[in-house]
């Protein structure tokens, strides 16, 4: 029986475990409907907790208990207590061996947690609490154990994998065989993994800086074996990078990656055996876009870097999740920045933060990067814990400086190697190594919400003194009304009227990081000869909202003169937001919408500038996403946002046609595909131009798009052309292109997913009906998170225009879908419902429509813990 209302778990209730598990010996006898799991555990009382012998409580969910024995003595059913989600055992000795036999059904496991089948291959996902669906165990990250795993399967599953090194293999009766794996490093259960299947692999070796040879293996289904090169190359780059930048070396003789089609997240860092969503590992130029190539590099890096930040040093409890995720996202972001265009990587990360994390921080699920409570931990694998968590680590990096940061990370890894640590341990190591006081900085770990910096300035001509007045505040979030001021590293520069940086101190520095620590503060600069133009929050030095009353002219000036590349881009975003605000107001007043020529001029300057990196140029031509526009208003008027933005896009296309078409022609050259940043930049600018041009009702540009669609030799150009056609509103052309694409790619699930997502993401009318039709497509599977994301995710999370169209039909559709999905995959259902939990932010009547849909989900009853938590908090 499920509890009517799930229990809330609190950080303040943390207690060390009563028992340690020194050794874990597992034997799996794999069968789809009856897998036997034998577990032999060496259990020892944690004497720090006392000398008594309390009952041993093990976690276990949806398990069939076959037998239990202690030191070889079988227990009868009246000697233990079996609860819905745990098993309570009597203890009479401080150390003993526990033997448990359970039976599970991987074939009917659609939650994709625990042991399950994906296209006939066995795989596991144990983070955060999936191991308890495999066997009874203290399934908590502070219990670290040495694992030995014997995998038995029919010979039709030739590949049998688990963590560590394989120490024995052999044949068995009934056409079966086995492999035994031993992992020398103690680890928590969430890092356990097992894979069995008919897989092929590519092999490479990597020699570590100390000359150890490591075997690298990438496993996939045979049909995908040609798509592994990029991931393998990315893995080698990651291993080298972690040695060079963090001094971290790999520690086992073998490192394996397995691609699986059914996976809830991107990938998982299981010790020595990473398991990846196939969309985050497989790529070929014909089938994967540039974005996919870059995502693969980032995620391969991310999971590899976890070997130190997550595995060697793990988390004490799940409230500390950002300890490994925030740090590792920071590490992978720096890796990507080093491998590609650093400016573009930073822009993309800030866009993600502003479009999605800020909304989370302002919504009903808002939580600090170290949450204080949860019902279902799966709901806390969030943009806040990951992306804001990474920004918090970045701020530490900026406050203590590069060298002290490296010293701090060395100290952290040395001191806590083999331990389950806390966020506090990390900050303490940074503090110690740098000698900087991070006391107030710790508020970033405790307080939710996006701080607001309101900045004004004054200039005293007589004294040649310039003053920046900074006021910080943070809106209330659930359970946190009042906030203490944050320590905010605020990077700034001052520009003179020629656009040059003004020296800010005696050393001649032209950029300073101001320590904003009080609610209100004034910073003074002397020797400033003329009234300067401030360039604020350079490089997005803190995850905050910034308000300063820039004029359109000042923003245009910063766009072409700021020495900080990020702020040049950001000035363009701010200028577009100003213009979009005016357009929204005009729309509401029923006035005709007209293009602000200052924006057109600024964009023209971007197109014509000769010193701009192509990739940054492409980014500068992208209008802020609807979600970002929405974030900047107190009561979201979806209709006005959509009207304003689509008008502006169209008007810019008209105003800049010659320049856009010029760039397109210049970049429309045939050459073999390479995912190099130079080539990616060219494709990105070319396709940005194309997306504008097809909005003009001119046949020549449609023909251009059609030609690119038909002739391009890579998926980036092909998918961009297809999306352009689908968004152009030309029914005939877009239908025939979609059909051709389907004909060609229906057998490749990852490309089929793109076909789904392009349609579900179309800004043109009729999308909801199309989405309904796609769910009926024979190749759609409710059990595949990638398919669900490609249709329903693309519609509800990324298609602002169509999701908000009409009178809430999109919200109703989402509610119905989520209710249905919850029975199959609660984790994904809980994620997908998010858009309608933000109803409070909307104006009437959108707000009522959303609320009604959300209430309907709750009324459906019998919700999973995952969905219940998100919906109930959304209604509260």
Residue facing ligand PHE at closest CB distance:
265
Cα separation of 775 and 792, whole Å?
A: 9
The tokens describing 2, both together, are: 């499920």
* Least distance CB 332 / ligand PHE (angstroms): 9
The H or E element that residue 138 is part of is: none
567 close to 535: Cβ distance less than 8 angstroms: yes
**If contact means CB under 5 to 8 A according to the sort of partner, which of Zn ion, ligand PHE, none does residue 381 touch?**
ligand PHE
Q: Which is nearer to ligand PHE, 378 or 728 (CB)?
A: 378
Q: Which is nearer to Zn ion, 325 or 812 (CB)?
A: 325
Q: Which is nearer to Zn ion, 298 or 750 (CB)?
A: 298
**If contact means CB under 5 to 8 A according to the sort of partner, which of ligand PHE, Zn ion, none does residue 127 touch?**
ligand PHE
> What is the CB neighbour count within 10 angstroms for residue 569?
25
Instruction: Fill in the per-residue mask, 309 to 328: x = in contact with ligand PHE (CB under 6 A), - = not in contact.
Output: ----------------x---
378 close to 365: Cβ distance less than 8 angstroms: no
Active site residue 432: no
Cα separation of 754 and 266, whole Å?
A: 16
The tokens describing 239, both together, are: 């291993």
Helices 657-667 and 677-693 cross at an angle (nearest 10°) of 140
The tokens describing 774, both together, are: 């796609």
* Least distance CB 385 / ligand PHE (angstroms): 9
From 13-21, 299-307, 405-413, 556-564, span contacting ligand PHE (CB under 6 A): 299-307
Coil, helix or strand at residue 177: strand
Q: Which is nearer to ligand PHE, 264 or 409 (CB)?
A: 264
**If contact means CB under 5 to 8 A according to the sort of partner, which of ligand PHE, Zn ion, none does residue 125 touch?**
ligand PHE
Residues 6+ apart with CB under 8 A from 434: 399, 400, 401, 404, 405, 407, 408
Cα separation of 283 and 277, whole Å?
A: 12
The tokens describing 54, both together, are: 């309390």
Q: Which is nearer to Zn ion, 325 or 387 (CB)?
A: 325
**If contact means CB under 5 to 8 A according to the sort of partner, which of ligand PHE, Zn ion, none does residue 268 touch?**
ligand PHE
Cα separation of 58 and 131, whole Å?
A: 11
Strand partners, 20: 44
Residues from 86 through 125 that contact ligand PHE (CB under 6 A): 125
Query: SS in 3 state form for 260-288?
Result: ECCCCCCEECCCCEEEEEHHHCCCCCCCC
* Least distance CB 10 / ligand PHE (angstroms): 21
Contacting ligand PHE (CB under 6 A), which of 60, 102, 122, 127? Answer: 127
Q: Which is nearer to ligand PHE, 267 or 468 (CB)?
A: 267
Cα separation of 490 and 537, whole Å?
A: 6
* Least distance CB 268 / ligand PHE (angstroms): 4
Sign of CA dihedral 851, 852, 853, 859: positive
- 13-26 core/surface letters (b: 16 or more CB in 10 A; e: else): eeeeebbbbeebbb
Strands 145-154, 19-29: pairing is parallel
* Least distance CB 321 / ligand PHE (angstroms): 9
Q: Which is nearer to ligand PHE, 329 or 760 (CB)?
A: 329
> What is the CB neighbour count within 10 angstroms for residue 295?
18
Cα separation of 732 and 401, whole Å?
A: 57
**If contact means CB under 5 to 8 A according to the sort of partner, which of ligand PHE, Zn ion, none does residue 741 touch?**
none
Coil, helix or strand at residue 647: helix
Residues from 618 through 637 that contact ligand PHE (CB under 6 A): none
From 200-208, 301-309, 403-411, 814-822, span contacting ligand PHE (CB under 6 A): 301-309
471 close to 516: Cβ distance less than 8 angstroms: no
Binding residues for Zn ion, rule CB under 5 A, total 2
722 close to 741: Cβ distance less than 8 angstroms: yes
Q: Which is nearer to Zn ion, 127 or 261 (CB)?
A: 127
DSSP per-residue string spanning 490-550? EEEEEE-TTSPBPP-STT--S-EEEEE-SSEEEEEE-S--S--EEEESGGG-SS-EEE---
Cα separation of 695 and 734, whole Å?
A: 13
CA dihedral 670, 675, 679, 684 (to 10 degrees): 100
* Least distance CB 571 / ligand PHE (angstroms): 33
> Which one-letter DSSP state was computed for residue 806?
T
Strand partners, 460: 465
> Which one-letter DSSP state was computed for residue 47?
G
**If contact means CB under 5 to 8 A according to the sort of partner, which of ligand PHE, Zn ion, none does residue 265 touch?**
ligand PHE
> Which one-letter DSSP state was computed for residue 691?
H
Q: Which is nearer to Zn ion, 325 or 376 (CB)?
A: 325
Q: Which is nearer to ligand PHE, 252 or 298 (CB)?
A: 298
Q: Which is nearer to ligand PHE, 267 or 774 (CB)?
A: 267
Residues from 256 through 285 that contact ligand PHE (CB under 6 A): 264-265, 267-269
Residues from 310 through 339 that contact Zn ion (CB under 5 A): 325, 328
Strands 452-460, 545-547: pairing is parallel
Q: Which is nearer to Zn ion, 300 or 488 (CB)?
A: 300
From 14-22, 302-310, 650-658, 711-719, span contacting ligand PHE (CB under 6 A): 302-310
Q: Which is nearer to ligand PHE, 317 or 562 (CB)?
A: 317
Binding residues for ligand PHE, rule CB under 6 A, total 12
Sign of CA dihedral 672, 675, 681, 686: positive
* Least distance CB 266 / ligand PHE (angstroms): 7
Determine, following the binding rule CB under 6 A, whether residue 381 of this chain makes contact with ligand PHE: yes
From 89-97, 146-154, 298-306, 568-576, span contacting ligand PHE (CB under 6 A): 298-306
Coil, helix or strand at residue 179: strand
CA dihedral 544, 128, 217, 169 (to 10 degrees): 170
Using CB atoms within 10 A of its CB, is residue 529 exposed (0-12), middle (13-18) or buried (19+)? exposed
* Least distance CB 241 / Zn ion (angstroms): 16
Contacting ligand PHE (CB under 6 A), which of 45, 133, 150, 302? Answer: 302
* Least distance CB 380 / ligand PHE (angstroms): 10
Among 221, 269, 303, 334, which one carries the catalytic annotation? 303
**If contact means CB under 5 to 8 A according to the sort of partner, which of Zn ion, ligand PHE, none does residue 637 touch?**
none
Contacting ligand PHE (CB under 6 A), which of 242, 261, 303, 334? Answer: 303
- Per-residue CA distances from 453 to 50, 226, 450, 469 (Å): 50, 50, 10, 10
Strands 254-260, 213-220: pairing is parallel
- Largest pairwise CA distance in the chain: 95
* Binding-site ranges for ligand PHE (CB under 6 A): 125, 127, 264-265, 267-269, 302-303, 306, 325, 381
* Binding-site ranges for Zn ion (CB under 5 A): 325, 328
| Residues recognised as catalytic | 303
């Amino acid at each position: 029986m499920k509890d009517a209302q799930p229990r809330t778990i609190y950080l303040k209730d943390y207690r060390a475990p009563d028992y340690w598990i020194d050794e874990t010996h597992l034997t799996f006898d794999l069968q789809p409907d009856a897998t036997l799991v034998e577990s032999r555990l060496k259990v020892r009382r944690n004497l720090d907790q006392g000398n008594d012998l309390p009952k041993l409580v093990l976690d276990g969910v949806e398990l069939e208990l076959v037998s239990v024995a202690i030191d070889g003595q079988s227990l009868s059913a009246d000697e233990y207590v079996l609860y819905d989600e745990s098993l309570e055992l009597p203890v009479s000795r401080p150390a003993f061996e526990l033997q448990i036999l359970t039976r599970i059904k991987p074939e009917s496991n659609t939650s994709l947690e625990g042991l399950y089948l994906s296209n006939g291959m066995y795989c596991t996902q144990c983070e955060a609490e999936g191991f308890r669906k495999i066997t009874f165990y203290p399934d908590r990250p502070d219990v670290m154990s040495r694992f030995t795993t014997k995998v038995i399967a029919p010979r039709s599953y030739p590949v049998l994998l688990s963590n560590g090194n394989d120490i024995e293999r052999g044949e068995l009766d009934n056409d079966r065989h086995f492999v035994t794996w031993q992992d020398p490093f103690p680890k928590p259960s969430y890092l356990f993994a097992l894979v069995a299947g008919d897989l092929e692999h590519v092999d490479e070796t990597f020699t570590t800086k100390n000359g150890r040879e490591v075997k690298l293996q990438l496993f996939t289904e045979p049909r995908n074996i040609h798509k592994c090169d990029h991931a393998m190359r990315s893995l080698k780059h990651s291993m080298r990078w972690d040695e060079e930048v963090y001094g971290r070396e790999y520690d086992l003789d073998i490192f394996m990656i397995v691609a699986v089609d059914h996976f809830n997240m991107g990938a998982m860092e299981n010790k020595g055996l990473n398991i990846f969503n196939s969309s985050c590992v497989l790529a070929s130029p014909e089938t994967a876009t540039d974005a996919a190539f870059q995502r693969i590099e980032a995620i391969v890096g991310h999971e590899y870097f976890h070997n130190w930040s997550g595995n060697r040093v793990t988390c004490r409890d799940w409230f500390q999740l950002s300890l490994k995720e925030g740090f590792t996202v920071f590490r992978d972001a720096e890796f990507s920045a080093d491998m590609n265009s650093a400016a573009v990587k930073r822009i993309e990360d800030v866009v993600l933060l502003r479009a999605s994390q800020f909304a989370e921080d302002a919504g009903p699920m808002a939580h600090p990067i170290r949450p204080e409570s949860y019902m279902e931990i799966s709901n806390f694998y969030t943009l806040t814990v990951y992306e804001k968590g990474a920004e918090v680590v970045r701020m530490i990096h900026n406050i203590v400086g590069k060298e002290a940061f490296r010293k701090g990370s060395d100290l952290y890894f040395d001191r806590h190697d083999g331990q389950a640590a806390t966020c506090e341990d990390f900050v303490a190591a940074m503090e110690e190594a740098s000698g900087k006081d991070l006391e107030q900085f710790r508020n970033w770990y405790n307080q939710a919400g996006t701080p607001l910096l309101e900045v004004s300035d004054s200039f005293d001509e007589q004294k040649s003194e310039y003053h920046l007045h900074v006021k910080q505040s943070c809106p209330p979030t659930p359970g946190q009304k009042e906030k203490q001021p944050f320590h905010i590293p605020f990077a700034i520069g001052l520009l003179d009227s020629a656009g040059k940086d003004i020296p800010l101190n005696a050393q001649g520095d032209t950029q300073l990081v101001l320590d904003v620590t009080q609610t209100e503060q004034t910073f003074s600069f002397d020797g400033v000869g003329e009234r300067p133009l401030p360039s604020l929050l350079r490089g997005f030095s803190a995850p905050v909202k910034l308000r300063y009353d820039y004029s359109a002219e000042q923003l245009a000036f910063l766009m072409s003169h700021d020495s900080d590349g990020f702020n040049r881009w950001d000035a363009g975003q701010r200028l577009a937001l100003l213009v979009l605000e005016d357009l929204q107001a005009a729309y509401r007043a029923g006035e005709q919408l007209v293009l602000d020529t200052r924006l057109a001029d600024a964009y023209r300057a971007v197109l014509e500038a000769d010193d701009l990196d192509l990739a940054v140029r492409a980014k500068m031509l992208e209008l802020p996403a609807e979600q970002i526009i929405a974030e900047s208003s107190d009561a979201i008027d979806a209709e006005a946002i959509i009207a304003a933005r689509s008008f502006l896009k169209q008007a810019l296309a008209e105003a800049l046609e010659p320049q856009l078409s010029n760039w397109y022609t210049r970049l429309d050259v045939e050459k073999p595909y390479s995912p190099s940043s130079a080539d990616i930049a060219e494709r990105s600018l070319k396709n940005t131009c194309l997306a504008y041009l097809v909005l003009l009702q001119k046949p020549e540009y449609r023909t251009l798009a059609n030609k690119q669609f038909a002739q391009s030799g890579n998926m980036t150009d092909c998918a961009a052309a297809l999306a352009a056609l689908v968004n152009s509103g030309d029914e005939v052309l877009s239908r025939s292109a979609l059909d051709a694409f389907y004909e060609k790619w229906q057998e490749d699930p990852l490309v089929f997913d793109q076909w789904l997502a392009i349609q579900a993401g179309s800004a043109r009318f009729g999308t909801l009906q199309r989405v309904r039709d796609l769910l009926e497509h024979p190749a759609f599977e409710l059990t595949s998170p990638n398919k669900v994301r490609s249709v329903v995710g693309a519609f509800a999370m990324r298609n602002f225009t169509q999701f908000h169209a009409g009178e809430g039909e999109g919200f109703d559709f989402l509610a119905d879908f989520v209710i249905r999905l919850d029975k199959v995959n609660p984790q994904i259902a809980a994620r997908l419902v998010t858009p309608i939990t933000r109803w409070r932010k909307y104006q009437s009547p959108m707000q009522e429509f959303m609320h009604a849909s959300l209430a309907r989900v709750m009324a459906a009853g019998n919700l999973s813990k995952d969905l219940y938590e998100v919906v109930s908090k959304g209604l509260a």
